[in-house]
Structure 1
Amino acid sequence: MAATTHTVTNQAPPLVEYDVFTSDRALSEGVERHIAPELAEAVREELAGLGRTAGSFQAQEWGVQANENPPKLRTHDRYGHRIDEVEFHPAWHRLLDRAVAAGLTDAWGRPGGHVRRAAGFLVWTQAEAGHGCPVSMTHAAVPALRTDPALAAEWEPRLTSHVYEEGLTTPSLKAGALFGMGMTEKQGGSDVRANTTRAEPLAGAGEYLLTGHKWFCSAPMSDGFLVLAQAPGGLSCFLVPRVLADGTRNVFRIQRLKDKLGNRSNASSEVEFDGTWARLVGEEGRGVRTIIEMVAATRLDCVLGSAALMRQSVAQATHHAAYRSAFGGKLIDKPLMRNVLADLALESEAATTLAMRLAAAYDSDTEQDRAFLRLAVPAAKYWVTKRCTPVAAEALECLGGNGYVEDSGMPRLLRESPLNSIWEGSGNVQALDVLRALQREPQALNAFLTEIGQARGADHRLDGAIKDLLTELADLGGMEGRARRVVERMALVLQGSLLVRWAPPEVADAFCASRLGGDWGAAFGTLPHSLDLAAVVERARVEV
């Protein structure tokens, strides 16, 4: 029926059919900065194509459908046979298909692989975040598998394939495969040394049977998993395939799927092993060392995922404000709203710039950058993921009541926002990891200080923050109680250094004045009014 009571006006159009990559100046400039010149044009076209798909109505609809129709556990078939399968909505498979086809599981050894893959992950996550979990774990499994050349030769071509093939079948028959991981158990959580799952060696070299459980095992429909279990020689890493080489199902009992706050498109499960066949990865008793590279890579993806959620939040907020009028003018032109939007935009750009610098360090793979990553990854993971939730909440508020309804997509961003601060070790775990590196690996601190020192003399507030940080780091005694504060300052100083070197002056000035200069309130929208906030907001806007 046609409306007879009123005409709909003053509503922002949907933010749809736009290029998520090209419209993100911080991201596109980061790619240009870190990618080799001979690759630049091809990578730019590749990411712009993915960006147009991510911003399309179709991809946004897939994201809605995948979350409105969460996965279902099928423990048995109609005849009573145990099958332990997870049924997903077709939209989930379409999202995964695009992610794999875009090379989001293929970075290791590929020219510019980590930069192009990180940018693609940041772009595609804005379409839907939940399916990024198996994408991330598959990508991150490669360095762990490389500790065993035979396993790497067998599995790596499948993990880095650009072909997505759903369903469980004999691994050798699949053109592409996905990997998951299982580390945490009920009694230990992040303390994996407390794991009780047992690994009993068989007669075959490197073959074991596992008995035990995993409390969180995401994407249980994956083709294989890296898990930790207690072998005779201590905690060890194992590869557990869902289907064995002869085509029979491995023992992999999915007890239930978790009912989660967000990330609802992704199946997170509790699983049990009972005589489950597994292959040793790396040396017995060195499971943590074997899997640590996988953990580091997934921690970087936590940074990328949070940066993506922040970017989408800012894009939606600035888009709404550019069209919505109130109190005699556009919201985006109102000084107080402009302050809020600029503050959000600073947080987003700082996260993106830091994430891309980390990806570039993986590509360079120099001794200096490896040492830098040892501190920078957990510090970034701690801080960027912590900032994601307040950014999403404030951006939602920018839309007012329109942002609080599900149709806007903002509630899904908000529900998703806390996940990355928990996944791969919560805030305290990251802070303690930084503290451990500070105490045991002086080369990591030297590399970190060298990185932030590249901007010394360019901004007096940054110089003062570096000096204060050095004072904090001079005394590591009693550090555990203040570890969060120190790690926060490390992340902020690093972000400030990167923005001073690479961002437009108005962005770097606003960041340093607020985050490092102390002229910043507890809520967003408290930037010094003398800054060029209009330029900061304009840079963050999506033009459609």
Structure 2
Amino acid sequence: MRTTEAPHSHPTALTHEVTNQPPPLTGHDVADDAVLLEGVRREGAEWHTEELHRLGRLVGGEEAQEWADQANRHEPVLRTHDRYGHRVDEVEFHPAYHHLMDTSVGAGLAGAAWADERPGAHVARAAGFMLMTTLEPGHLCPVSMTYAVVPALRHSPDLAKTYEPLLTSRVYEAGLRAPAGKRGLLAGMGMTEKQGGTDVRANTTTAAEAADGTWRLRGHKWFTSAPMNDLFLVLAQAPGGLSCFLVPRVLPDGGRNTFRIQRLKDKLGNRANASSEPEFDDTVAWLVGAEGKGVRTIIDMVTMTRLDCVLGSAAGTRAALAQAAHHARHRAVFGAKLIDQPLMRNVIGDLSVESEAATTLALRLAGAADRAQRGDAGERAFLRLATAVGKYWVCKRQPAAVAEALECLGGNGYDEASGMPRLYREAPLNGIWEGSGNVNALDLLRALAREPESLDAFRAEIEAASGADRRLDAAWQALRGELVLTEDAPLRARRLIERAALVLQGSLLVRHAPAAVADAFCGSRLDGDRGLAFGTLAPGTDFAGLLERLPA
């Protein structure tokens, strides 16, 4: 007689039972995060809370996480010609990428904040940008550039009148068509060239004025992301000097502008986003701002994209922390959950301090940007110096923090299925994009030399916490002595900007974070014998207080 065995009765089947593994981190509200919500409230966008939770539930859902995975696994593909041999210079994306773009543009993360008159609109946008970064940062490159182009385009009111209503739209329309025939536009920028890189004044792309008042560009750009965007701000050498130009992919009459894509960059990370090398050859363009003032014009765009770098790095750090904390809450070793093991509590607690400092600073900058564009001169001055400080430090810390969070998962963190390798590959990007560490450190020196009001605003921000913590007071006193621009200032610029960032973060946390967080930050970053790795907080640290602040 034949019998039927139970499914797991065979001895080898026992090896396939899965135990002591965390469940997938899905089905939760990513916006259910005290640090994020408190910052949004503090910076004037509490009215956006309900919408943030809606987006947070989407970001934490299984479907959206699948979009993120697919958009990175199926990378953009360049098609230079159609089947008949005509140049088309188009990039094809996986449908998942378009789902992500539609979500972000629809949530107002592109240019919509510029058309929103409510105080805190740019803070609301920043918080949404951070949520979508935790999901998939690559697609946010074109979103960020579209947001940033608006203040630069306003240097030419006629162009702004034509394009700004479409750049501030919440409608995403893929594909190349005449701009006026679309319900929403995306913008990009083309600054660097292979022979100059950061030194844009060494650019060789030329611009010549045509009889109809437009200009014609000829040259080659080295790193132009999102080549399927509709419009680009491009730097080129005009007779009057380096100037800024608006280059549409499709001309007003529907004809294709010359925008030959030589190749797509094979990047370390940021795989969902296409970055290209375009060639201009009699390419039609419109002058933006004054001739010879190209850097001054486009710097308004660069300032806003640098803000997004800070937001993105803070969010990337927080996403890695969330994965590490989730794993530690569910994984048991040596008879106890990882989250209850003293040394792991030190590591996770230290990462949480780093993350809260980054998030708090990022949202403070977003609040300053919001108030500056509404006419607050003091906030504009603060933003000038603090953006460079935040861009340098928060972006510099992200790779180390993500690597430590990945290690919390052990071998599982090195497996692509965990999502941690993608976070790790993305981590160095914001430190490079829109100016590497050296560029921002030297920018700090320029601000100190040319715009003393920015130091006054920075000083006021720090001294708002005066007397609240002796370690912070001592660090600020030491920093003030270093802010004198001596002959060796360029040599010590990194040390200077690092200390400025830590003192600024300390001031923000002392004023706005729980005592456990502020005390741990000041004790480990501003005072004492700080270890070089995460997980070196001193005995006596309120770890329970730190772990209460962890994201879901």
TM above 0.5, yes or no, is: yes
How many pairs were matched up?
536
Q: How far, CA to CA, are the matches of 1:134 and 1:62 in structure 2?
A: 17
Query: Is 2:199 aligned against 1:191?
Result: yes
Match of 2:470 in 1: 460
Of 356, 359, 363, 2:363 maps to: 356
Q: Render the CA deviation track for 1:264-318: whole Å, top value 9, x for unaligned.
A: 0100001100000000000000000001110000000000010111010000000
Counterpart of 1:172 in structure 2: which amino acid? Answer: A
Q: Render the CA deviation track for 1:29-85: whole Å, top value 9, x for unaligned.
A: 10111116xxx34x1011111111111101100000000000000000000000000
Pairing of 1:226-375 with structure 2 (within 5 A): 226-365=233-372, 366-375=376-385
Pairing of 1:177-188 with structure 2 (within 5 A): 177-188=185-196
Q: After the TM superposition, which of the residue ranges 87-96 and 470-479 deviates more from structure 2?
A: 470-479
Q: Render the CA deviation track for 1:465-496: whole Å, top value 9, x for unaligned.
A: 00010111135331000000000000110000
Q: Render the CA deviation track for 1:390-446: whole Å, top value 9, x for unaligned.
A: 011000000001111000000000000000000001000000100111111111111
Q: How far, CA to CA, are the matches of 1:190 and 1:138 in structure 2?
A: 21
Are residues 541 and 149 of structure 1, via their aligned partners in 2, closer, same or farther at CA, if it must alter by over 3 Å? closer
Query: Is 2:83 aligned against 1:95?
Result: no
Match of 1:528 in 2: 538
Give the Å deviation of 1:25: 1.2
Match of 1:376 in 2: 386
**Any conservation in 1 of the 2:227–2:276 contact (CA below 8 Å)?**
yes
**Any conservation in 1 of the 2:406–2:420 contact (CA below 8 Å)?**
yes
Give the Å deviation of 1:538: 2.5
Helix, strand or coil: the match of 1:107?
Answer: helix
**Any conservation in 2 of the 1:54–1:60 contact (CA below 8 Å)?**
yes
Q: Render the CA deviation track for 1:336-393: whole Å, top value 9, x for unaligned.
A: 0000001111111111000100111111121111010110001100000000000110
Q: How far, CA to CA, are the matches of 2:484 and 2:156 in structure 1?
A: 40
**Any conservation in 2 of the 1:519–1:528 contact (CA below 8 Å)?**
no
Gaps of 5+ in 1: none
**Any conservation in 1 of the 2:349–2:543 contact (CA below 8 Å)?**
yes
Helix, strand or coil: the match of 2:327?
Answer: helix
**Any conservation in 1 of the 2:445–2:485 contact (CA below 8 Å)?**
no
Query: Is 2:171 aligned against 1:166?
Result: no
Helix, strand or coil: the match of 2:135?
Answer: coil
Counterpart of 2:303 in structure 1: which amino acid? Answer: A
Q: In percent, how many aligned pairs have the same letter?
A: 65
Q: How far, CA to CA, are the matches of 1:472 and 1:327 in structure 2?
A: 48
Q: How far, CA to CA, are the matches of 1:184 and 1:342 in structure 2?
A: 40
Give the Å deviation of 1:203: 1.2
Q: How far, CA to CA, are the matches of 1:397 and 1:136 in structure 2?
A: 30
Counterpart of 1:155 in structure 2: which amino acid? Answer: Y
| Higher CA-based Rg | 2
Q: Render the CA deviation track for 1:477-521: whole Å, top value 9, x for unaligned.
A: 310000000000001100000000000110000000000113320
Q: Render the CA deviation track for 1:205-256: whole Å, top value 9, x for unaligned.
A: 3x10000010000000000100000000000000000000110100000000
Match of 2:486 in 1: 476
* TM-score for both structures, normalised by structure 2: 0.96
Match of 2:419 in 1: 409
Counterpart of 1:401 in structure 2: which amino acid? Answer: G
**Any conservation in 1 of the 2:449–2:485 contact (CA below 8 Å)?**
no
RMSD across aligned positions (CA): 1.0
Query: Is 2:80 aligned against 1:80?
Result: no
Give the Å deviation of 1:537: 1.6
**Any conservation in 1 of the 2:226–2:274 contact (CA below 8 Å)?**
yes
Q: How far, CA to CA, are the matches of 2:293 and 2:265 in structure 1?
A: 30
Q: How far, CA to CA, are the matches of 1:252 and 1:475 in structure 2?
A: 44
Of 443, 450, 459, 2:460 maps to: 450
Counterpart of 1:309 in structure 2: which amino acid? Answer: G
Helix, strand or coil: the match of 2:533?
Answer: coil
Q: How far, CA to CA, are the matches of 1:420 and 1:476 in structure 2?
A: 30
